[in-house]
Amino acid sequence: MRRWSAVGVLLLLGVLLTGCDLLDIITDLTPGGGGTGIGAFSRIIVEYEIEMDVMREDTGVELRSVAASIGSIGSIAYDAVNHTYTAQTPLGSDPYVLITINMDPSETTIVYIDAYRRMSHGFDAWERIDRIIAENIPYVREENGSTFFRVDATDFGWSGLQMVEYRDWSKALYTEEDPMYWVVDPLSAQEAFNVDMDPYIEIEFQP
């Protein structure tokens, strides 16, 4: 009897609501995915390029393109209450990656992002650190199933870049505390973004 009552309720809802409205209700009641936001995905890629003052230990300061493409590795945790996505490799892994992204409730704006990577390169002879912290990066497009958030030189007045850090060193000669190359002032990233001709920050959520 209870089963027939439930069926009757669903039939009544089908009469009173359009198909789209009924689908919305079912979707809202179904757990998982990204809720009303971007949905499920398998990987996050954070890319950026900004010209900044970089200190070279042997020759001094030079204007260089500080760029990175930081991709998540492994599973991604999703906090549906706070609209937060987190991807982290085990401590001590190489590369070590930690990406934290907090969205607004509609998940159409990245309210806060902190992407960090430490990795060996140059046949394991060198090591580098890349990190970016930014706020208020809007959704821009869908492409080949991926969802993109981006800011660049055309976004006049945008002021959400908090920090860009870069350090690079030969393992045989230098250390993280005393690297071969490093950004002179990581906290001046917004000023550098404002005067660069082609800066960009792009976050891709891959399906």
Question: Are 118 and 126 in contact, with CB atoms under 8 Å apart?
Answer: no
- pLDDT for residue 39: 63
CA-to-CA dists, residue 144 to 191, 204, 205, angstroms: 34, 11, 11
> Which DSSP letter does residue 199 get?
-
The model's pLDDT over 100-126, given as tens digits with 9 standing for 90+, comes to 999 999 999 999 999 999 999 999 999
pTM of the predicted structure, to 2 decimals: 0.81
CB neighbours of residue 90 within 10 Å: 8
- Preceding peptide of 95 cis, ω within 30°: yes
Domain extents in the chain: 1-30, 38-206
> Which DSSP letter does residue 24 get?
H
The model's pLDDT over 25-55, given as tens digits with 9 standing for 90+, comes to 323 332 233 333 466 789 999 999 999 999 9
Between strands 43-56 and 200-206, the pairing is: antiparallel
